[in-house]
Amino acid sequence: MRLLEELASELRWSWDIDSEHPRSYPINTDHVFSEIRRDLRENRPRTKKVKLRPPPPPKRFSDLFDEGLIKTVYEQQHDSSYEAAIRLAGASRQGSSNAFHNLMKAARAAWEITCYGDHVIPRPKIHFLHRELLEIAEDLDLDTLTNAGLEEFFEDVCPCSKTHHAEAIRKLRKRKKARSSGS
């Protein structure tokens, strides 16, 4: 499949560049994943680029924040889902203060990214490479494959140079399922 070969090639190139600075956010790899997911979900050819317009000036405090960016930053820093953190922060129970604090840190990081650019993106605490590949597999309707089938997909596409195992993929799928169900 030409799309998978193109994905593997672009990921290898971006991961090699990002690996030169292991303490920094892997922006090139993240950009490749974002473009590929957008093109797959919108069923667009891979060559089409979109020009972005600058946002209107803020009028309210909440206009300073991009909730999608906050969600992305939060989920790359924590193992729980953004939605679960919002629910916990809004509840008056144990852990709500901590969840609120973590959400505020993600909001601050998102604001700094918006103001100062991509070079201030915090390095993900949760390794996102395999999680993003699992998302791509879902977009390609490969999520119906067995863990061994996905192991082959990871071996073909993943640039991490590690051997992939069906058991590790099973655990990754289980964590992703728990995350999406809001636990």
Render pLDDT for 115-130 as a digit per residue (tens, 0 to 9): 888 778 887 766 678 8
Predicted TM-score (pTM) of the model is 0.61
Single out the residue of 65, 67, 95 nearest to residue 83, CA to CA.
Answer: 67
Number of other CB atoms surrounding residue 163 within 10 Å: 9
Q: What is the pLDDT of residues 11-37, one digit of tens each?
A: 888 888 888 887 778 888 888 888 888
In angstroms, rounded to a whole number, what is the distance separating the alpha carbons of residues 7 and 15? 12
Counting residues of the chain whose pLDDT is more than 70, the rounded percentage is 89
